[in-house]
Copies of this chain bind each other. A is one copy, B any other.
């Protein structure tokens, strides 16, 4: 009986499979990241927050094979509901509900739900955060295509990832044009496109086998495709060179789709250069993206730890990258990286593109065209956390360290000096300091010193009855060596406490920084 109860308690005491709680330092870092992303996105879009569930019909038929991963709510009488699978379809539903809105730039931050086999070690979660920005309207496609890419650059610069990421770019019209030029039959184009998308994980031979044996493509056609899709423009110079090569390709120039795609890509790259957002892009013809609904530009952001195997990359490079990635994953353990999620790509930290027909599926006749990007926030979190563990500094990461521990010695008054400790906490916390104290009414001095160590507090503020009578408290830097003139702390008038403590804490911070510099030199 007692055992049964214990077992039941143990069964109940867990999160649902594939979910996590965010607490303490993880919660703090996640919020710092959200704050940076939100700051950038709110410059260019307004926030839209939709319910966590939608009518089941809204999601139905939007995700192809992945529809089986949708969480349904129980039929408790009334509407049939499902948890949202992404933030894109709810946005399209909202646009269709507001046909009077002719143009809309929105961002959204929220959790999405996928009833996939979770792989927590690999970071594939059933509940995870997405952060999207999407522009909808019927204006110039190249203007907004460029703008979304520029926003991606601005976000990763705000996250201080400069030099650590690459935005892979491609264009569906160029890809489709290439397939037509190579002689892929119309009805095989999407299937062959899916196969090409695997080139970042699989060697050409394997992809070729899929094309020829599984998908019934002519061998000569497959080999012709290879001559195109192995072309990748490394960084800006390489991207421009690749574009020039395509501009000179007479076969492509004679194909209407390819020509349109190349012309658009030309304008997009030139706009990105004007915006200073061109340095970390790589025009990559083997990027195809999983989802069917893209109609124009597509992109995917990768970083160290994303571990993309490359169609061109040598084996050594590939092994080295995979080795790195394995280590990073081991360090992260329970964090999310969604690396096996086919809709996001292997380890990409952001991905998206242009999708011009989604709103029309809700509102026949609508001409709303969309382009957007989704940031994989859990993945960005995990990589940033791993880099911090490796010693990298990020200016926006908040400290969770305790600045001050408040102690009371004595306390025969009505509250054991609880009131005074709370008052001092309130004064210091409002000044932006992290403060702790014992929640006991009359805590023993020894316990308070032990706790101040546990919290790693830099200073103690000590209340005593005699000092209180004179309107004073003692401010004591913790961890000073014996014999230091301020070892026993200094007496401070209550009215000067906030300024005295903040000056000391800030002074201490400067000293530590200088010390740190000494060590580096």
Contact = CB atoms under 8 A, between A and B. Distances in A.
Interface of A: 5, 8-9, 11-17, 19-24, 27-28, 30-31, 43-44, 46-55, 57-58, 71-76, 78-79, 81, 83, 93-94, 96-97, 103, 106, 111, 115, 127, 135, 137, 139-140, 142-144, 146-147, 150, 154, 266-267, 270-271, 274-275, 362-364, 400, 414-416, 418-423, 425-426, 429-430, 438-441
Contacts of A274: 419-420, 422-423
Contacts of A75: 74
B12 A127 contact: no
A47 B74 contact: no
A52 B439 CA distance: 31
Given A12-B55, A24-B46, A271-B415, A422 B140 contact: no
22 contacts: A9-B363, A11-B57, A12-B57, A13-B93, A13-B96, A13-B97, A15-B51, A16-B51, A16-B81, A27-B46, A27-B48, A28-B46, A30-B49, A52-B52, A52-B83, A73-B74, A74-B75, A139-B438, A140-B440, A140-B441, A271-B418, A274-B420
A139 to B, nearest CB: 3
Given A16-B51, A139-B438, A271-B419, 15 more contacts: A13-B93, A14-B55, A17-B78, A21-B49, A22-B48, A71-B76, A137-B439, A139-B439, A143-B418, A147-B422, A154-B426, A270-B414, A270-B419, A271-B415, A275-B423
Instruction: Please classify the interface of chain A as helix (H, G, I), strand (E, B), loop, or mixed, using the class held by over half of its residues.
Output: mixed
A425 B215 CA distance: 47
A418 B272 CA distance: 11
A57 B425 CA distance: 39
A73 B30 CA distance: 28
A143 B55 contact: no
Contact of A22 (B31, B47, B52, B438): B47
Nearest to A5: B364
A415 B362 contact: no
Contacts of A414: 266-267, 270
Contacts of A147: 422
B97 A14 contact: yes
Contact of A52 (B20, B111, B275): B111
Contacts of A57: 8, 11-12
A211 B115 CA distance: 50
Contact of A150 (B15, B22, B139, B422): B422
Copies of this protein in the complex: 2
A9 to B, nearest CB: 7
A117 to B, nearest CB: 10
Contact of A362 (B12, B16, B127, B154): B12
A139 B71 CA distance: 42
Given A103-B439, A439-B103, A16 B46 contact: no
Chain B CB count within 10 A is highest, among A46, A53, A135, A439, for A439
Contacts of A426: 150, 154, 275
A75 B154 CA distance: 43
A154 to B, nearest CB: 8
A387 to B, nearest CB: 22
A415 B267 contact: yes
B96 A422 contact: no
Given A76-B71, A439-B137, A146 B14 contact: no
Contacts of A142: 415, 418, 441
Contacts of A11: 57
A143 B49 contact: no
A145 to B, nearest CB: 10
Contact of A48 (B23, B81, B140): B23
A16 B400 contact: no
A351 to B, nearest CB: 22
A323 to B, nearest CB: 33
Contacts of A31: 47
A349 to B, nearest CB: 20
